Structure 1
C-alpha cells in the first residue's frame, strides 16, 4: 500500500555555491547535526520550495557522508518557477522541507560501464563513478554541455577520475558520439530529451538505463472510455473517466497518495497493481518492468483492462 503523505525532513542550507554558469550547488544538513537517511547512487529527493512548488533533484554527493546531501540546480528560464526560486531566493541558513530519497535510476552490477551525461544530467552520474570504481568495474564518462563554462563539477571529475573522463563542450566538439554499445557494457545516460531520444534509438535491449528530467510525449491511451480501479484493502471500486487521472480520482475519494511531479518522472506516486493490465504512460519503467504489470504511477498511467485492482 502506498504511503500516506508525510512532512519529510526539515534541512538547513549549510552551503551555497556556483557549480558552473547558471548552476547552483547546495549542501543540506539536519539542523541538529543528526545523520541523514542512507541513499545509493541514482537517488533523488523532493525539495518542497513552497505551496504547490515541489521539485526533484538528484543527490550528487557521497553516499557514505550521512551528514550532508548535495544537489545542483540549473536555472531554467522557461521553467515553472522552481529553479528561479532556488537561484533567486534560497540562501545559506534557510530551511527547506525535503522528502525521500527515492531511486528509479539505480546502478546495477556490470563488469563495464559507459556513462553519458548532458548538462545538469551529470548530477546522478557523479556518485555512480565512485561506486563503479569501488566495485572494480571498468568505466568511462562522456560528458557534454553547451559550453565549458556551463558544465558543472568538471574540475572535481578530472581531479578524482583523470583520463576516464572526457569533457566535450558542444561549441568546441559538436554533438556527442553515441555509438558506445559493446557486449558486457551497461550504458547509463542522463540529460536533455534530445540526448536521451538519440541514445534510445541506438540502444541494445537490456544495455541502456536512462533518467529523464522531463516527461516523454505519451501515445494515445489504450482505452478511450472509463475504467474502474478497485482498492484491495477496502473493496472500494472507483470509476476513472477519460478526463481525470487515477491519482485525481483517488484523491477525490479521500485516499492519501504521496505525489509530486504529476507528470510521470519522479516516481513518488508508485502504486502496486494486483490484477489487471496497465497502460503505462510514465518516463521511468523499462520494457520488462512495464510487461510485469505489477506497479504503476497513478499520476499519468491508466488501465489497459476494464478494471485494475490496486494495492491500496
Structure 2
C-alpha cells in the first residue's frame, strides 16, 4: 500500500497518563481514500509516530466491490522498512521486483522486507474481480533497525496454518509476530516485535503481555482498559509499565502491537529511514526510474508526489 506525501511526519512523544495508568493516549483514525476504497490510518499521526518498531498502521475497508472492480495499486517503491499484510476477508495478489507472485488470503501473513529497495504492486486475480467481493484487513509497516536498513530485499509468505494460536481464559488468539502467551511466531523479525490478534466475547477479559511500547487497536466491538472505554476503530497507546487487562463490552476483535523503540525515523511517501539524505536519494532514484521493474507489471507505476 502507499502513503500520501502529506502524511510525512509526526512527533514521537508521550501524552498524559490516564485510564488509571493504563492508557497514555487514545488515537482516532484518519480516513484516507486510496481510489475505490478507503482506509483508516492510525500511525503515523500528529500525536504519535511510532509504537516500538511499528511506524504505519492502516485498517483497510471493509470495502465491497462489484464484479469487474477491485484493488489496483500500481507499482511503487519502498526502502528501509518491512510491510506486514494480514486479511480478514478477501484476497490480494502480491507481485514484486524480486519476481514474487503470491495471493494472500485470510489468516496468512505476507512479510515484504524492502531493505535497500523493492518495488511491488497490489492487484487481484481475475477470478476474484470477476465476482462481487469484499476486502478487509490490516497493513502495517515496520521500521528496520539501522544495521538492517540496507539489507537485501526479501519476500516471505506464511500460511495461516503456520501462525501459532491458543486460547487464554476462554479468549482465542494468534501470535502473529514475536513471542507472547507462551507461543513464538515463525514470522521473521529484526527487532523485539509484538503483534497479537484476539477475539473476545462480551464480558471476557484478557491480560495483555508486556513490551517496552504497546498499542491496542479495536478492529471491531468495544473494550475497556483500566476503566477507560475504547470504542471501535480507536487505538490506545499503553503505558509500558502498567499490568493491564482488557475487558470486552461487546464481541470484539483486537490487534495488539508493540516492541522496542528504534529511535527517530523519517517518513516520506513510501520511504522510511533513519537518514533524511537516504530518503532524498530514494526519491531521486524513483524519479530517474533506477528501481527494478515488477515482472508482468512493467507498464504502470505511481509517479513520485511533488
Length-normalised TM-score, structure 1: 0.29
More relative contact order, 1 or 2 (CA 8 Å, 6+ apart): 2
Structure with the largest fraction of helix: 1
Length-normalised TM-score, structure 2: 0.29
Structure with the largest fraction of strand: 2
Which of these two proteins has the greater Rg computed from alpha carbons?
1
